[in-house]
Amino acid sequence: MSRETALVTADWVAENINNPAVVIVEVDEDTALYAQGHIENAITFNWREDLQDGLRRDIISKEGFEALLSKSGIANDTTVILYGGNNNWFAAYAYWYFKLYGHQDVRLLDGGRKRWELDARPFVTDLPARTATRYVAKDQDLTLRAFRDEVIAAIGVKNIVDVRSPAEFSGELAAPAHLPQEGGQVKGHVPSAKNIPWSKAANEDGTFKSDAELKEIYTTAGVDLAKDTIAYCRIGERSAFSWFVLHELLGVSNVKNYDGSWTEYGSLVGVPVEIGALA
């Protein structure tokens, strides 16, 4: 993977808005944003209703993913462009689903909704009509997904990257500062984790930093990119962003997203927890 296959520019999207081989999908944390205005012809996924199982605590199943993409008019050979607010957090989270279920061509709009807005590019409120398809997903690629036992076994062995803000890592906050403070039962971080906030990878306008800058951020923080890496945050969406940076932009092959993240780990009985800033 590389920047050329994983990212598109706003100009590219503007030129491909009516391209029948392309489907643009907006995914936001604030699910009301799409209705207020979105890129022409873009559809939306609601991360809570469309991407979560709904009954048990899990991401949607393969069958659920197939149903979502089929009704959205996305075919197996469609080029899917994802974008959203919050520097593409939830767009990156959806991107991780597409890779998990084996979709071939999926890309993020560099800078997401923010760069589009700061450029004063147009938003519309019209809803595009799409013809349903019969999408066939692959089984989950578990080389991209970490579960709790694997995280516990990775303490002191693999790279564990906590991509939350320093205040969440140290245990001062339980959730990002724009959200009510709720999350795991306890605050803190997984022992031996390095705190490399997702935001380090983004420029102020929401676009990604250069490959050289990105590599520098991780290696300076003590991450050995030759070793296996597990990224986590609070609910798995910011760590999908950092997974995207490592796996899709920098082409590091051994990176997993722990989507259970701190809401799961911080509620487990008997697992080790550390608080305080990184020494």
How is the beta sheet containing 79-83 ordered, strand by strand? 7-8, 106-109, 79-83, 22-28, 43-46
Smallest distance from other proteins to CB 147, Å:
28
Smallest distance from other proteins to CB 203, Å:
11
Smallest distance from other proteins to CB 156, Å:
26
Give yes or no for residue 86 binding other proteins (CB under 8 A). yes
Give whichever of 177 and 212 is closer to other proteins, judged by the CB atom: 177
Closest CA to 31 of 48, 18, 16: 48
Sole window of 15-23, 136-144, 151-159, 163-171 interacting with other proteins (rule: CB under 8 A):
163-171
Give whichever of 132 and 179 is closer to other proteins, judged by the CB atom: 179
With DSSP H G I counted as helix, E B as strand and the rest as coil, what are the percentages for the chain, rounded to 5?
Answer: 35, 15, 50
Alpha carbon 133 to its chain's center: 25
The C-alpha atoms of residue 163 and residue 63 are separated, in whole angstroms, by: 30
Give yes or no for residue 124 binding other proteins (CB under 8 A). no
Q: Tell me the site size for other proteins, rule CB under 8 A.
A: 29
Q: In the annotation, is 233 catalytic? A: yes
Q: Which residues have CB under 8 Å from 225's CB, separation 6+?
A: 215, 218, 219, 246, 250, 252
Q: Select which of 27, 174, 233, 246 is catalytic.
A: 233
Phi-psi region of 206 (alpha: psi -120 to 50; beta: other; left: phi over 0): left
Per-residue mark of binding to other proteins, 25-64 (x: CB under 8 A): -----x--x--x----------------------------
List residues binding other proteins (CB under 8 A).
30, 33, 36, 85-87, 113-114, 117-120, 165-167, 172-173, 175-181, 197, 199-200, 204-205
- The catalytic residue positions are 233
